[in-house]
């Protein structure tokens, strides 16, 4: 490590110590590490300015009047949600929430009748809506497949807190079509071509959706 790099590392550590407090960690505010220590240094200096300004005057309107318009949230959402995230972080409060932690585990699919599935989907939708989250799965998706997608999604990653008027969407889309439960009902998934499709000679998707696959689920080019 060169002397310049060592100095930057020490300076960044010093800045973090000035910024952080019980329940307030830089890594929680910026979960994606910055690999360049020079850029990290500039960002930490900016964040320290914000921390000191908010500590002295914890009022958004007054801070905006002094030029503090957009909190350095990364990745950002919208101004109101960014302010919400920043103020929660300054208070040492969580920046995200998890469905299962908040509302309890979802029941296993194999113990649910079709009526139960429909009831659970309605309940999940209402709970998510109360937290500014909407279900945005593929249209015409069988309810049992929809429940399976949501269960996996909601048991996985948490949701960030967002301001009133901001909406998050649950799409259950990873971008990897051959492994997606929704592919047979997804226009983009049907039109895309993957190596797995070429190798198998047909549309590739998880075996567990085969029994529900519509007859129209043919990849563009297949059957020509």
- pLDDT, tens digit, 9 for 90 and up, residues 203-216: 899 998 877 777 66
What confidence tens digit (pLDDT) does each residue in 144-200 have? Answer: 999 999 999 999 989 999 999 999 999 999 999 999 999 999 999 999 999 999 998
DSSP state of 217: -
Domain parsing of the chain, residue ranges: 3-90, 96-170
* 103-107, 206-210, 219-223: the lowest-pLDDT one: 219-223
Residue 218 vs residue 20, higher pLDDT: 20
Largest Cα separation within the chain, whole Å, is 69
Q: How far apart are CA 198 and CA 217, in angstroms?
A: 16
- DSSP letter string over 121-157? HHHHHHHHHTTTEEE---TT--HHHHHHHHHHHHTSS
The kind and range of the H/E element at 170 are strand 168-170
Backbone angles phi, psi at 147, to 5 degrees: -65, -40
What confidence tens digit (pLDDT) does each residue in 25-53 have? Answer: 999 999 998 999 999 999 999 999 999 99
Look at the alpha carbons of 37, 41, 46, 48 in this order and tell me if their dihedral is positive or negative. positive
Confidence band (pLDDT; 50, 70, 90) for 224?
very low
Entry pTM: 0.84
* Mean pLDDT of all residues belonging to the chain: 92
């Amino acid at each position: 490590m060169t002397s310049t790099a060592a100095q930057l590392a020490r300076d960044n550590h010093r800045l973090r110590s000035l910024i952080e407090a019980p329940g307030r960690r830089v890594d929680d505010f910026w979960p994606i590490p910055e690999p360049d220590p020079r850029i990290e240094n500039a960002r930490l200096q900016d964040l320290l300015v914000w921390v000191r300004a908010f500590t002295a005057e914890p009022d958004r309107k007054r801070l905006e009047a002094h030029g503090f318009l957009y909190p350095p949230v990364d990745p950002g959402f919208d101004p109101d949600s960014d302010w919400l995230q920043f103020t929660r972080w300054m208070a040492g409060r969580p920046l995200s929430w998890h469905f299962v932690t908040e509302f309890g585990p979802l029941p296993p699919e194999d113990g649910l009748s079709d009526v139960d599935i429909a009831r659970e989907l309605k309940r999940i939708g209402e709970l998510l809506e109360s937290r500014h989250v909407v279900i945005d799965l593929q249209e015409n998706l069988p309810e049992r497949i929809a429940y399976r997608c949501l269960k996996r999604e909601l048991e996985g990653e948490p949701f960030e807190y967002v301001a009133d008027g901001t909406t998050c969407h649950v799409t259950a889309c990873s971008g990897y079509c051959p492994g997606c439960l929704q592919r047979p009902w997804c226009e983009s998934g049907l039109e895309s071509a993957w190596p797995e499709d070429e190798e198998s000679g047909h549309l590739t998707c998880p075996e567990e959706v085969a029994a529900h696959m519509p007859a129209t689920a043919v990849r563009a080019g297949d059957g020509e």
